[in-house]
Chain A
Amino acid sequence: MKDYDEELKIYFSERTPLPYGLREQTFAKLKEAKEAKSNWIWGIIAFDFIISASILYAGWLMFGQGIFMYFVTIIFAMSLVAAVVVTGVRNALVN
């Protein structure tokens, strides 16, 4: 009894070539996706920096150079380090 296995094997063994330009278009989109991701990471670092600097400035305005300023400076430094570490770990995991 014929099961058409041979015909199906031949049918599926043929590979359709990529249409002209599809490979280039796909790699261009991949490049865009990579750039969008790196912009996003820099956005987080910049946002973190602005927030930390704002806290520092607000502390300086309110309390001058007292003990609070040491506290705020430590938070500022820690948040920056955290942002860099998180970004680094994330990149290492993704790549």
Chain B
Amino acid sequence: MDNDFENLIVTYEKDLYSFCCHLTAGSGVNAGDLYQDTVLAAFEKRAQIDFTRNPKSFLFSIAVGKWKNAWRKAKRRQEKDAMSEDTAESDNPETMVQSSFTREAIRTALVALHDKLRIPLILYYFEDRNLDIIASICNIPKGTVKSRLHKGRALLKAALEKEGF
């Protein structure tokens, strides 16, 4: 079982880390920390993983939960110390790699979205547009996923059009 778990992590590490990067973008929360917390929490809950179904969704649902906690803590820290706002953002290697103008515009527009709209939108592309999986990861009804996706896409579109795309 431990080997299965390690294989699972190695298989999905890039997906999971990229997902963590998208979640934490512009928040001041470190994607690497979120990735590690997610893997450790998944290890604790490894008895619940069904390797025959979709273990990636299981990892993503843990990441979303961990992200909400980390974001709450980061927000409280930022409120206490206004100087620490958006610290490592400009030095973020992820930002440097995504140098293309379009990517940067999408990234900026996504960061501006509220978590409630952003998380389903990220999952929509990470989970091959499967609304059932998104609903189970976010713990919301499928109809709510649809409406949040619709609203998120509309806001994203407006932001991108405003930038001239």
Chain A residues near B (Cβ < 8 Å) = 2-4, 7-9, 11-19, 22-23, 25-27, 29-30, 33-34, 93-95
Shortest beta-carbon distance from B43 to chain A in Å: 6
List residues 1-37 of chain B with CB under 8 A from any CB of chain A: 1-2, 6, 9-10, 13-15, 17-18, 21-22, 31-32, 35-36
Query: Contact at B36–A16, with CB atoms within 8 Å?
Result: no
Query: Contact at B106–A8, with CB atoms within 8 Å?
Result: yes
Query: Contact at A30–B103, with CB atoms within 8 Å?
Result: no
Which DSSP category, helix, strand, loop or mixed, fits chain A's interface? Answer: helix
Shortest beta-carbon distance from B8 to chain A in Å: 12
Query: Contact at A7–B102, with CB atoms within 8 Å?
Result: yes
Query: Contact at B125–A4, with CB atoms within 8 Å?
Result: no
Query: What is the count of residue pairs linking A and B with beta-carbon distances less than 8 angstroms?
Result: 80
Shortest beta-carbon distance from B69 to chain A in Å: 18
Asked if A22 meets B35 with Cβ closer than 8 Å, knowing A4-B160, A11-B103, A29-B40, the reply is yes
Residues on the A chain within 8 Å of B2, using CB: 34, 95
Nearest first, the 10 A-B pairs at minimum CB distance are A12-B125, A15-B14, A16-B18, A15-B18, A95-B1, A16-B21, A11-B106, A26-B36, A18-B17, A26-B39
Is B115 among interface residues, defined by CB-CB distance under 8 A? no
Chain B, residue nearest A12 (CB): B125
Distance of A60 Cα from B44 Cα, bound (Å): 43
Chain B, residue nearest A34 (CB): B2
Query: Contact at B125–A13, with CB atoms within 8 Å?
Result: yes
Q: Give B71-104 as 1s and 0s: 1 = Cβ < 8 Å from A's Cβ atoms.
A: 0000000000000000000000110011000110
Chain A, residue nearest B1 (CB): A95
Query: Contact at A27–B6, with CB atoms within 8 Å?
Result: yes
Query: Contact at A33–B1, with CB atoms within 8 Å?
Result: no
Query: Contact at A26–B9, with CB atoms within 8 Å?
Result: yes
Chain A, residue nearest B20 (CB): A16
Q: Which of B14, B47, B156 contacts A94 (CB 8 A)?
A: B47
